Structures are given as C-alpha cells and as structure tokens.
Amino acid sequence: MSRTYFDNLRDFIAFLEREGELRRIRVPVSPRLEMTEIADRVVKQGGPALLFENPVREEGRPSYEGGYEEHRRAAGGPTEGRPSYGGRYNIPVLMNAMGTRRRMQLVLGSEAISDITANYLSLLDQHEAPSFLEKLKMLPRLKEVADALPTVVRDAPCQEVVMQRPSFEPFPILTCWPGDGGPFITLPLVFTRDPDTGRPNCGMYRMQIFDATTSGMHWQIHKGGALHYRKAESRGQRLPVSVAVGGDPVVTFAAACPLPPDSDEMLLAGLIRKRGVRMVKSLTNDILVPAESEIVFEGYVEPNERRREGPFGDHTGFYSLPDDFPVFHLTCVTHRRDPIYHATVVGRPPMEDCFMGEAIERLFLPVIKRLLPEIVDLHMPFAGVFHNLVLVAIRKRYPGHARKVMHGLWGLGQMMTTKVIVVVDEDVNVHDSEETAWKVLNHIDPQRDLEFVLGPIDTLDHASRLPNFGSKVGIDATRKWPEEGFTRPWPEEIRMSPDVKKRIDSLWKELGL
C-alpha cells in the first residue's frame, strides 16, 4: 500500500471521504448517548467513519449533569419518542475514524504494519552498541531519523482563536453510556513534563467533565503522566498540563502507544510519518502541543487534590468503578476558527479502540521479537480487551522454555498487567481462535501446566483482589518433552497425505460438490 500522510485531522477527513470511508450525518444528534448508539452499531458492522455535522443539546438538560444516580434513573425505563433539543453546538464531531483494519492501514501507510518498526530496527543493526536496549536509545541520534524529530513553530492553527472565557461548555463532549458519571473527553492527548528531567510525555487519559472549568484526570498508577504528577505532588507543586484534541491520526495513534518511560510519543509519530510533528508552545505554560490540533485545553493539576470520577463504560465492556483521581483546572482554551471535535466510544468489543490496539500489537511485535527472539507470533484477541489475554507462539528449544517466555513478557512495560498468557508451539496460528483453542485444550494437563503468579494488575480489572494488584496465570500449551517429566508418547496430529489431497483436488469439479 502506498503511503499517504496527513498534516492534520481535516486532511484525513477529506482523504477518507475520497476513499468512500466517511459518512456525513446531517440529522440532529445529541452527544449524550445518541452518538454512542450510532457509532456502536456502525463499528460492529465494519462501517465508515462518521462526521456528525449537527450535534445538538437536549432541551432542559444542563450540559454537564453529573451523578451516577441521575444516570441510573434516566436509564431505568423507556421513553416516548426522541427528546426535544435546545440548540446546536456548531462544532462537528468525528467518530470511528480508525474503526477498521483498512482505515488503520490508511493511517499508518503500510500493508504490514510491523514493517514500519522492522525498517527502523534494521537501521540500528548498522550501528554498534552493547545491547539492543542501548541501540533503542540511540535511535533519536541517528542521521536517518533526524527528519522525524519534532520541530517548534511560533504560529499554529490550533491557536487561531483564544477563548475570552475558557470553558468546556461550547464543545460537544460525549456522555457515552447511561451509567456514566457524566460527559468524558475520550480522545485527549495529555501533555506533561517530568519535573526532574523536563522530558515530555503524551498519554491518552480520559477526562470526566465536572463543570465548565474542571475535569477529572484519569491517571492510572502505571502511566507516565501519573509518574510526573507524583513527582510534582511530592514537592507540593502543581503540574502544568496541556490537552490537545483532534491531532492528525498518526499523532493520536502515537499517544495511545505504550512506550517505555522517557520515550517521546511525538518522535514515534514522526518516525511513522517520516517527517517531524510541528509543535507550538502553549499560551499559559511551557508545554508543547501539536500545532495542527483542532482544540487545546491548557491548565494544571493541583497536588493533593482528588475528586470522585466515574463510573465510565470502559473498553472491558463493563463500567469501571468510581474512584478518586486528580483534578484538571482549565485556564485557557485555544482552537482553530472552525474546530472539529474528535471523539471515540469504548465498550463491549469490537470497538474502534480494538483496531488501534491491534495496530499497536503489530507495530511493537518486531521489538518484542528482538527482546525475546524465540517468539514467532503474538496475538491479543479483541475479547481479551488488551490486558486480559495474550497468545504467544514460540520456537521451543529447551525444557521450561514456555515459562521463561511468560515471565519475560510480564517483565516488559505494560505487558506486566497481562492476566493470562498462553504459550503454544510455532506451528499454531494464534490468530485463529478455533485452532488455538483446539491445540491448547488438547495439550494441557491443568495442574501441571498452569503457573500462578502475583503482581501488578490493570487498574480497570474489576475482579482482582485489590486495585492494581492480583494474580495472573501462564499456561504452557506446548508439546511436553521427556526432559519436562513427560514420558508418555505424544501423538501425531491427524493430517491427510499430500498425494490424496492432490488427487481429490483434481476431481473436485467433477464431483459436483
């Protein structure tokens, strides 16, 4: 697939429309629940990106009604007809922009997404370094990737308009599900700096709107933004934060990638785009944000301030429970003259985030293979919602090899929260759920082949014994060797002989079947 790169979100929208991948919705639709229901149906049908051109407020309903109980009551019974509307937002809403494999390939510009990473890893092989990890640290210094480094500009489209009274009110921020604690910004690019080193971090952390100028900041304990906040809080300092919405699709994708600490997500975006991301200094702090963004919310998070956030209908398919999180205070809003609000909705898979997660899996597979070269392939099924299940095919070379791989994966960044890791032999297609289940269930003795460990668990895991901590299981579904204490014969898999298959192939049309 030839590569097409986009300077900004509107370039991507125009491209999707030319490719027949965008549907404009001109019917009045509310960002409270209605857009979610439409987008949920469309993504599950493999449908197009959606541009809601006429988002409207429900008459008589405040913009930011909070409170779980009110939502529970609202969801408790049928309603007659559609609600009446009390005005337009005048800002269109883009959803489901990356909600198919094809659109993810259009975003990343590669038929085989893993080729992007593999090409840069081949550059590292041309330079000597004591270890692969040291080579990765060299990447920003290589001449071949100099053009991918972010550049700072003075004038930026995202600062064409500066709101006189900064507020979340004018924006069609989604209330996604009936039990949600309120509206949430669902595709925010949250930029912070390490208080010690000054290094930037960009992450995607949901933000529940509390009122016109404050929101929650859902910094899970394992995330880079949370680390920056803990450092600032330990000093009694507020942490400056800038939040961009509506970057070009590669920038948005990079913000969702689980990079190692101190990595620059904007450099990753530049590497994928083959040109650097243009950045601009925020107006009220020193944080750099993508210059081509649609909207930027500037502000800060105070130390030792928490507010109850949630529930939120999450990518697990269940509501994540209410908890106390830091509070973002809005001090400035800038945007393009005619901004587009970019949003997504998560819930029971498959959803748009599944296709983004699948692309992340493919993008980082070459790196995982470098660190654990026995891995042939790896797959995170949609139903496993990223952190619940990883299927791994390996070239088994010695007794206990599968267990070495389990623990190796649990030691890799965000893989540490994986609840279930299943290791199979290299001849198993881990992307075929039927084949994988067949091989796994035939190959295991449960007492012998299951290994339980305790460790970090994803914050959204509602079944763990404690928040962020619980048990995990590794399943060795490889063929067992005598050196592993297995002395019985291991049976051969049933396969038809090739000559018979060839003979029947030649007869197939004649058989009329």
What residue spans define the domains of the chain? 9-342, 372-484
Q: Which residues pair with 295 in a beta bridge?
A: 245, 335
Q: Note if 314 is an active site residue.
A: yes
pLDDT at 78: 36
Residue 167's pLDDT band (cuts 50, 70, 90)? very high
Contact 40, 14 (CB under 8 A): no
Assess whether pLDDT exceeds 80 at residue 111. no
145-161 tens-digit pLDDT? 777 889 999 999 999 99
CATH: 3.40.630.30, 2.30.110.10, 1.10.1240.10, 2.60.40.10. Which one for 9-342?
Answer: 2.30.110.10
Mean pLDDT along residues 316-345: 96
pLDDT at 189: 97
Contact 87, 62 (CB under 8 A): no
Could you tell me which of 111, 94, 79, 83 has the C-alpha nearest to residue 21? 94
Q: Is the peptide bond before 350 cis (omega within 30 degrees of 0)?
A: yes
Set 180, 264, 314, 449: catalytic member: 314
Give the range among 85-89, 211-215, 373-377 with minimum mean pLDDT: 85-89
pLDDT at 68: 33
483-500 tens-digit pLDDT? 999 999 999 999 999 999
CATH superfamily to which 372-484 belongs:
UbiD C-terminal domain-like (3.40.1670.10)
For tokens 């049908």, the residue is: 45
For tokens 């991918």, the residue is: 148
Contact 49, 96 (CB under 8 A): yes
Could you tell me which of 252, 245, 255, 251 has the C-alpha nearest to residue 293? 245
pLDDT at 131: 63
d(CA 220, CA 49): 29
Residue 133's pLDDT band (cuts 50, 70, 90)? low
DSSP 234: H
Contact 267, 150 (CB under 8 A): yes
Mean pLDDT along residues 352-359: 92
